[in-house]
Amino acid sequence: MLSTVILKPTKFCNADCAYCSAPPDGHGRWSFDTFKRLMDNLAPHLTERAMLLWHGGEPMLMGPDFYWKAYEYASSLKPEIHFAMQTNILLYDSARWRSVFADIMAGAISTSFDPDGKRRTLKGSAEAYNARFWRKLDEVLGDGFEPLVIGTYDEASAPLAMQMYETSLSYGDRAFDLRVNYAYPAGRSAGTGAAITPEAYADTLLGLYERWMADAPGILITPLDQMLRKVLGEEISRCPWTKSCGGRFLSVEPNGDAYNCGEFSDMGEGYRFGNAFTQPVQELLASVPARIIRRRAYSLPTDCQSCRHYHECEGGCSRDSALYGSGVLGKYYYCASWKRVFDRIKESVRTGEAFPLMESIGLGRHIRRNVA
């Protein structure tokens, strides 16, 4: 059954960032009827509490009415389904969007900003993008939302992750959660090779982890919070530490093309399951690429199977194994990053260094359980 579906109703975007991994593809926008037919196809294969993640392109270009209609229809088929949105928030205005963010998405909003302030552009202008982003973030925070702000870092910009953390803390009570991603060579930057080494990515995460433990500020820094939860046994099989996303995830492009996830859709035709507008979901999940991805569940590299972090990491992400040249069943490129970070997180839980941090993000029960 599908627990997460990434929906891309358009690849149009109001920004024009040079490194975009999902640039406009020449296809238009979904009408409500397009969504309705797709939902009819998906619904029998969704878990009761499945998450539909609106993505793009820029999903806010679809306008609020589209999301209200889609929400009402999807909820009529699956009452417990929930929604989230990944958006650049540049179109946010309280009067039009507040209720969409609150009542449909239940506040599950993530957005992106790169603190080098150079690579995200609006009509070619990084200054225009930056000014608009911070103004809109203030509006979103002012309306009481707690968006996850995702930064994508390469070798040169990695030191700025700490600056982004400081910026978040400077908001005081409204400090926002952060995500620190490695930039990857897909979409407009396909073929450019690794943008950051596993060592530099690990150094960045570990620097943040030490600071985060010392401050225990109550905000989340992803992926560190998720890795901590994995270590504490709170979560299993969470993307990107899962060998069994095949058959549980699906991503649908504006033209209906279906892939395992948004990340695989950045890789193109060879990983396409088929088309969700013209083929039943069971046929998509029986496609050759889908079957190969599912094989990762029982066909991991042997050193992963004997790794000290196997239970937490599960061999990492199959898309990234493929993206960096070792194939869907091969070695995950950022293995060295996860090894070093999982090592440090486990050590900090063992010694108690992480306890104040754990208390600050609602994981204190694990301390009390261990002490009792």
- Which residues of this protein are in contact with ligand SF4, per CB under 6 A? 239-240, 242, 245, 249, 260-261, 263-264, 303-304, 307, 309-310, 313, 315-319, 332, 335, 338-339
Cβ 343 to ligand SF4, closest distance in Å? Answer: 9
Distance CA 58, CA 8 (A): 9
Q: What is the end-to-end Cα distance of the chain in Å, rounded?
A: 38
- Tokens at 205, concatenated: 């995460």
Complex with ligand SF4: residue 177 or 266, whichever CB lies closer: 266
Cβ 86 to ligand SF4, closest distance in Å? Answer: 13
Distance CA 187, CA 209 (A): 30
Complex with ligand SF4: residue 140 or 258, whichever CB lies closer: 258
Complex with ligand SF4: residue 115 or 240, whichever CB lies closer: 240
Cβ 259 to ligand SF4, closest distance in Å? Answer: 9
Cβ 54 to ligand SF4, closest distance in Å? Answer: 17
Complex with ligand SF4: residue 21 or 260, whichever CB lies closer: 260
Complex with ligand SF4: residue 221 or 307, whichever CB lies closer: 307
Cβ 273 to ligand SF4, closest distance in Å? Answer: 13
Complex with ligand SF4: residue 140 or 285, whichever CB lies closer: 285
Complex with ligand SF4: residue 157 or 321, whichever CB lies closer: 321
Cβ 235 to ligand SF4, closest distance in Å? Answer: 13
Complex with ligand SF4: residue 141 or 239, whichever CB lies closer: 239
SS3 253: coil
Cβ 131 to ligand SF4, closest distance in Å? Answer: 32
Cβ 74 to ligand SF4, closest distance in Å? Answer: 21
Distance CA 265, CA 258 (A): 8
Cβ 371 to ligand SF4, closest distance in Å? Answer: 29
Q: What is the 3-state secondary structure (H, E, C) of the chain?
A: CEEEEEECCCCCCCCCCCCCCCCCCCCCCCCHHHHHHHHHHHHHHEEEEEEEEECCCCHHHHCHHHHHHHHHHHHHHCCCCEEEEECCCCCCCHHHHHHHHHHHCCCCEEEECCCCCCCCCECCEHHHHHHHHHHHHHHHHHCCCCCEEEEEECCCCCCHHHHHHHHHHCCHHHCCEEEEEECCCCHHHCCCCCCCCHHHHHHHHHHHHHHHHHHCCCCCEECHHHHHHHHCCCCCCECCECCCCCCCEEEECCCCEEECCHHHHCCCHHHCCEECCCCCHHHHHCCHHHHHHHHHHHCCCHHHHCCCCHHHHCCCCHHHHHHCCCCCCCCCCCHHHHHHHHHHHHHHHHHCCCHHHHHHCCCCHHHHHHHC
Which letter does DSSP use for residue 283 in this model? H
Cβ 327 to ligand SF4, closest distance in Å? Answer: 13
Instruction: Return the closest-CA partner of residue 52 out of 193, 262, 303.
Output: 262
